[in-house]
A and B are shown apart, each in its own frame.
Chain A
Amino acid sequence: LAKTTQPISMDSYEGQEVNITCSHNNIATNDYITWYQQFPSQGPRFIIQGYKTKVTNEVASLFIPADRKSSTLSLPRVSLSDTAVYYCLVGGMDSSYKLIFGSGTRLLVRP
């Protein structure tokens, strides 16, 4: 499985756009990139998934460059309730049945 590297923590202010970048240099051809969000004492929650280029949903955007060795989760206009840990996962049906979580990025949104 491709190993992922993310910043340990990030600080932001309400209303700002936050970009969290994840490195996955050993990503395999069949791997998807998936981001999860976790609040304290809750299970991780799926945010967004992509394979290449850009994916956007009602919550976030995911930017994936052509070489797919990194990806950036973009959260537009964050609020206090976006304070959470964000995990980048890499994997897919052909490579593994398991989702491996790294240490994640702890995002703190300040008023």
Chain B
Amino acid sequence: EPEVTQTPSHQVTQMGQEVILRCVPISNHLYFYWYRQILGQKVEFLVSFYNNEISEKSEIFDDQFSVERPDGSNFTLKIRSTKLEDSAMYFCASAYKDTEAFFGQGTRLTVV
């Protein structure tokens, strides 16, 4: 069964450093998403990406964040100048139609 894959599974970074979280969506999907989940809290929408551009973003997704689809397969989330409060699970998702999304297993980001 096709799946969304995310790398790395766990990343530890120092405060102020930049991190890039990587995702390989399901190959024929058209809609791509990033979500985050702080430990014990709900899944929060960050950004959606369609037709090679951001279609929606939340208030969390400020200038510190950026997304890219550099080639036909990868979808990345870059977090510049990480803060302690950026520590969370980050989930990538993709969908052929935007109402049935398939999620990856997540990247646990720990900022120290």
Contacts and interface: CB of A to CB of B under 8 A. Distances in A.
B106 interface: yes
Interface in B8-45: 31, 33, 35, 42-45
Contacts of A102: 42
Interface in A72-91: 87, 91
A101 B31 contact: no
Which bucket holds chain B's interface residue count?
Answer: 20 to 34
Given A42-B106, A43-B93, A43-B106, A97 B55 contact: yes
A87 B91 CA distance: 16
Interface residues of A, number: 23
Contact of B99 (A34, A44, A45, A104): A34
B43 A41 contact: no
B60 to A, nearest CB: 12
Interface of A: 32, 34, 38, 41-46, 49, 87, 91-93, 96-104
